[in-house]
């Protein structure tokens, strides 16, 4: 053979070798023979004024099994999709069964610790990997995690979209009809660091009206949304103790652990927080210091099923419950239900929907073929199919082309200073 032919033959042989991530060869003795062949992202704009167009992730494999996940991040859809694309070289040619390895590689090898953009990208990928894992093993994900505790499903709550007493009573009647035992509302307006008596009185009156309208038997969570300073939150928490709320959420920004601790020490109502936290590591201090009663990390931001499960495991020995946040799309919400079903310290599952289904829930049903995240007798039913439990076609998104990212709300006090919302 001539040298040129030999070298040319070597080139063809080299080109024929499949692309694989760094370090993959060391894991050939474990896992499966299935290999990831592609990672796709889909931006889905369902409302032109939405700050959270859905970001869905689809992972394809050489044996035809696909997995779906969600990394929707409010105000940052473009950034998340770009980050998912950056992670392709971590995944193409790899075994999808090695979920923990991929999570560690994406998180650790990125060097700079994950914020919401990276956390959401990892979340979408991680959910899709668990979906594939369940399908390959023929089991729903909650069974892979050791569940379920209750085959009837997991307890949930809707958001109260009512202001007048008549509207509150209508919510109460509809909740009773559906067997819903828990709802969540919020406090009105925006708050200065030190607030007036009139503003505080108005907030307390709003919550008193909510309790009166919804009645004594339904559990109520109230989201402060970190709009209040530690000083204002402490006053409000004390004033509303007679209402026997299920929890008060984000009475101050979650990164201010010392301030959160001060509020918790002054209040007998359970304190909840966590929707803005990324990875289980970010919850460690809250757990160790006994600051919170309930952790609410969001599966689409915290880092997927892997990270949410670790948050639950971290919290459980300390008697802390989980009540995961879910205000994005249907894939992440359904993935959360799998973790809920297997977690011994699960409390209640949020969905940012009203007691009456809206056009968004009807769109989800159009995509998935069943009424996703609608409760039956006060509980979200458990999927029975393998993986995350649904079938989905790319063509379902054709009517909702991606229209870019819009920022989240920007609100200001009367003097023009930035207000938290």
Instruction: Tally helices (H) and strands (E) across the chain.
Output: 15, 14
Give the other-Cβ count within 10 Å of 414's Cβ: 8
Residues contacting residue 92 through CB under 8 Å, at least 6 positions apart? 19, 20, 21, 36, 37, 38, 39
Active-site residue identified among 159, 225, 338, 413 = 225
Residues contacting residue 131 through CB under 8 Å, at least 6 positions apart? 66, 67, 68, 69, 141, 335, 387, 388
Give the other-Cβ count within 10 Å of 15's Cβ: 7
Active-site residue identified among 102, 159, 301, 325 = 325
Contact 297, 274 (CB under 8 A): yes
37 burial class (0-12, 13-18, 19+ CB within 10 angstroms)? middle
Q: Is 301 a catalytic residue?
A: no
Residues contacting residue 249 through CB under 8 Å, at least 6 positions apart? 184, 221, 222, 223, 224, 225, 272, 273, 296
Residues contacting residue 386 through CB under 8 Å, at least 6 positions apart? 134, 135, 137, 138, 139, 140
CA 52 to chain centre: 13
C-alpha to C-alpha distance for 105 and 205, rounded to whole angstroms: 50
Q: For 137, how many CA atoms within 13 A lie in the half-sphere containing its CB?
A: 20
CA distances in angstroms from 162 to 159, 247, 323, listed in the order given = 9, 19, 23
Q: Is 225 a catalytic residue?
A: yes
34 — phi, psi (to 5°)? -70, 140
CA 199 to chain centre: 32
C-alpha to C-alpha distance for 207 and 204, rounded to whole angstroms: 5
Helix (H/G/I), strand (E/B), else coil: 39? strand
77 burial class (0-12, 13-18, 19+ CB within 10 angstroms)? buried
Active site members: 225, 325
């Amino acid at each position: 053979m001539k040298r040129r032919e030999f070298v040319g033959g070597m080139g063809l042989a080299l080109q024929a070798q499949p692309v694989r991530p760094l370090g993959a060869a060391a894991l050939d003795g474990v896992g499966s023979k299935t290999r990831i062949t592609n990672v796709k992202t889909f931006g889905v704009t369902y409302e032109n004024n939405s700050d959270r167009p859905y970001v869905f992730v689809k992972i394809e494999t050489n044996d035809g099994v696909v997995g779906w996940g969600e990394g929707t991040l409010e105000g940052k859809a473009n950034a998340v999709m770009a980050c998912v694309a950056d992670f392709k070289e971590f995944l193409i040619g790899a075994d999808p069964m090695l979920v923990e390895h991929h999570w560690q590689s994406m998180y650790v090898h990125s060097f700079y610790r994950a914020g919401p953009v990276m956390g959401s990208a990892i979340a979408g990928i991680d959910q899709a990997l668990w979906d594939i894992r369940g399908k390959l093993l023929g089991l729903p994900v909650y069974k892979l995690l050791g569940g379920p505790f209750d085959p009837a499903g997991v307890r949930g709550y809707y958001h109260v979209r009512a202001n007048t007493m008549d509207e509150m009573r209508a919510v109460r009647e509809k909740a009773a009809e559906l067997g819903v035992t828990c709802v969540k509302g919020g406090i009105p307006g925006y708050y200065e660091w030190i607030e007036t008596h009139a503003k505080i009185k108005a907030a307390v009156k709003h919550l008193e009206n909510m309790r009166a309208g919804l009645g004594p038997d339904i559990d109520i969570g109230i989201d402060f949304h970190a709009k209040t300073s530690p000083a204002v939150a402490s006053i409000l928490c004390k004033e509303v103790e007679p209402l026997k709320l299920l929890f008060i959420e984000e009475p101050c920004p979650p990164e201010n652990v010392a301030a959160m601790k001060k509020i918790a020490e002054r209040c007998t109502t359970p304190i909840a927080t966590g929707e803005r936290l990324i990875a289980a590591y970010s919850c460690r201090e809250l757990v160790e210091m006994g600051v919170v009663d309930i952790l609410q990390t969001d599966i689409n931001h915290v880092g997927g099923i892997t990270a949410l499960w670790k948050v639950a495991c971290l919290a459980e020995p300390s008697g802390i419950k989980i009540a995961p946040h879910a205000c994005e799309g249907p894939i992440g919400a359904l993935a959360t239900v799998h973790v809920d079903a297997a977690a011994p310290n699960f409390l209640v599952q949020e969905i940012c929907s009203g007691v009456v289904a809206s056009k968004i829930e009807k769109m989800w049903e159009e995509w998935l073929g069943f009424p996703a995240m609608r409760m039956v007798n006060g509980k979200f039913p458990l999927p029975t199919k393998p993986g995350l439990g649904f079938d989905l076609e790319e063509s379902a998104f054709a009517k909702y082309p991606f229209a870019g990212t819009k920022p989240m709300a920007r609100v200001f006090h009367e003097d023009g200073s930035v207000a938290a919302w």
